[in-house]
Amino acid sequence: MTDPLVVSEDGGTITIAGDVLDRIVRRAAEEVDGVKVRRRGVEVRSGRVTVALDVRYGEALAAVGEDVQARVAESLRASCDLQPAAVDVSVEELT
């Protein structure tokens, strides 16, 4: 389960639901060719992102993981100004 992101500023509070963060991470990860995020494969907690993937057989797994890390981090920065402390990628299955 992903924690919501709460941003407090002088003008008030902005809350981004955990489901929204999950969707941002999922879409960013699945932009990488050959990647499918597992059904319950996303978690964002305390600025640390965990993503569990199925990757197409024949892909260079380390390169795919690095691409996912970069896209997820950039999407979170661009969408909600969240600078993740880390993006942990786990390849769970080859498809």
pLDDT per position as a tens digit, 64-85: 999 999 999 999 999 999 999 9
Strands 48-55 and 86-94 turn out to be parallel
Pick from 11, 76, 10: nearest CA to 44 = 76
Q: How confident is the model at residue 46 (pLDDT cuts 50, 70, 90)?
A: confident
DSSP assigned state of 28: H
* pTM of this structure: 0.92
Q: How confident is the model at residue 95 (pLDDT cuts 50, 70, 90)?
A: very high
Domains of the chain: 5-94 (3.30.70.1350)
Distance CA 12, CA 9 (A): 5
The predicted structure's pLDDT at residue 1: 72
CB atoms within 10 A of CB 13: 8
Cβ atoms 57, 94 nearer than 8 A: yes
The predicted structure's pLDDT at residue 3: 87
Cβ atoms 89, 25 nearer than 8 A: no
Cβ atoms 61, 91 nearer than 8 A: yes
